[in-house]
Chains A and B, each alone.
Chain A
């Protein structure tokens, strides 16, 4: 990115950043352990939302299968944690599924480094393969979205069905420590929280860099007119493939952090409903703005954990209605709304600037 002049406006923005970062970093000082743990989980979700925004908000590809990538990352980390807890012996669920030996593909997951690499590489690789075929065959829009749903069904059914290797519907849970640090201790939790904050900020910066670059401009061009981009001489498939892979890798990373905070991963986290919910965070926060996506994830999950308890019925009504209203009347989400309100009076936005149907 070019260096830009430091106008008062930029200064304010920078200040906003700094304050937000400072708030996140200092949260352990004035938030209880339980709340900190929750916040950490929300931040992990915010990371997925960033990745999702890259492909949906900026490239116009709607994936309803990000739960898979998130889950695969989570499973990679969970396998490591489980093996650490069992001391390299076959984990408990293999026993009650009738498996006596540790399967070969589990063995390298005893090493933390391997697990972390795999947690990013497996989702990325899967996305690459899928993207290679689908985008090259020009499967777009709705068809791609429905295809990702099929993929979700395949993955969850396999995970559930292969109980001896994956823990089935129970998923993988019951960890004790990470690299020797007890996961139960508040200190480890705080450290993990801070790591999550650092990762979130780095991913945020990375995404800003991507969308600010030439590459990012092509992505937005693909969103607004894929065929035009093709006729200019770019190959949209390559760009879509790369950004889809990147997005999947980010989701995998978020999944790993999620497992560390929550202590369980199960196929239910990979299903259709969570995958759609992830998209919902982005939609509500504001697609096409990174900060909106991240905030959407944090706010929605916070609201969910606060209100779903008090009004389990009302909550679903509310969430459904909110979804409808946001998608229909506020296509740019909450972040867009703030902009819209302010600028409505000043000047009518030029038609082409408004994201009308980013995904069509």
Chain B
């Protein structure tokens, strides 16, 4: 019994991680049709930002304050990744709108450069981030079932990101402009919306969320130059499976992959579990090429 409960929680936890990783992509890919292969590297930037924040606290603040570095690390990761995203958009991505496959290749090159940059700055080996002590341990539900606070924290973080994104996109002026541009660029431009600005903003926000994901990942996994490569394909699968352009789809996609992943891994083993999940995705897309939640459109292409 407790095993099933624990596995359910594990599935939920993996889903939340996948969702966090894919959220930024859902914006850049789903809304802007830019395939950002450097998304993984933006995650890595977020992780290294957390590492730097930790070091700053370590060096300049009294030890009693150390535990609170993580509170600062989340916004710091967002801001730094945001800035990187902004630079990337202004210098490169803006040439690539309407050429999704080219954007895939070009951003892959960017990813390569960023990885090497991280390697030159921080060295090839992994760096260690000590997670704050208030995230140690877990919630005991029953005997032998411990829900780690870190995983609970990540689930909470995802929900927070989702909610704020929802409010930003659907309840704010900027969000309205963003939707206007994504739905009909020319019309929005005619009505006085600066599409250049909106594009840059949207891409930067997507990147910023990748940074937050990176910050969260420092709690669970390695922090190294190749961190992003572990997540990038999974993130794309989430977005494509969920259906492009809808946040609900991304949430469903992440939950689906996360749950099935846990299930298959529990039944078989990690390698086979992964294969089965991917086979399911490929099969599912044959059946529903537009993903779980399809945007209805009358256009042909």
Using CB atoms and an 8 Å cutoff, list the residues of chain A in contact with chain B.
Answer: 62, 133-134, 137-139, 141-143, 145-147, 149-151, 153-154, 157-158, 160-161, 226-227, 272, 276, 279-280, 283, 313, 316-317, 319-324, 327-329, 331, 357, 359-360
Contacts and interface: CB of A to CB of B under 8 A. Distances in A.
B285 A316 contact: no
24 contacts: A137-B286, A137-B289, A138-B289, A139-B285, A142-B100, A143-B240, A143-B285, A145-B101, A147-B285, A153-B274, A154-B275, A157-B274, A157-B278, A227-B300, A227-B301, A279-B105, A313-B119, A316-B113, A319-B109, A320-B111, A323-B105, A324-B109, A328-B92, A360-B99
B69 to A, nearest CB: 31
Q: Is the interface of B mostly helix, strand, loop or mixed?
A: helix
Interface string B211-250: 0000000000000000000000100110010000000000
B166 interface: no
A323 B108 contact: yes
Nearest to B96: A328
Contact of B108 (A138, A141, A276, A313): A276
Nearest to B113: A320
- For chain B, which range describes its interface: under 10, 10 to 19, 20 to 34, or 35 or more residues? 35 or more
Interface in B35-50: 35
Given A323-B109, A360-B99, 9 more contacts: A62-B104, A227-B301, A279-B105, A313-B119, A313-B120, A316-B112, A317-B117, A323-B105, A357-B98
Contacts of B285: 139, 143, 147
B156 interface: no
B113 A321 contact: yes
Given A141-B101, A357-B102, A323 B112 contact: yes
A35 B279 CA distance: 42
A146 B112 contact: no
A253 to B, nearest CB: 25
Contact of B92 (A280, A324, A359): A324
A327 B109 contact: yes
Interface string B120-146: 100000000000000000000000000
Nearest to A148: B282
B157 interface: no
Interface in B267-301: 271-272, 274-275, 278-279, 281-282, 285-287, 289, 300-301
Contacts of B275: 154, 157-158, 161
Nearest to A134: B286
B116 interface: yes
Residue among B104, B120, B233, B287 with the highest chain A CB neighbour number at 10 A = B104
Contacts of B300: 227
Contact of A327 (B33, B102, B240): B102
B129 to A, nearest CB: 25
B167 interface: no
A328 B108 contact: no
A139 B301 CA distance: 11
The 10 lowest CB-CB distance pairs between A and B, nearest first, are A323-B109, A320-B112, A320-B113, A161-B271, A359-B101, A316-B116, A327-B106, A324-B109, A320-B109, A357-B99
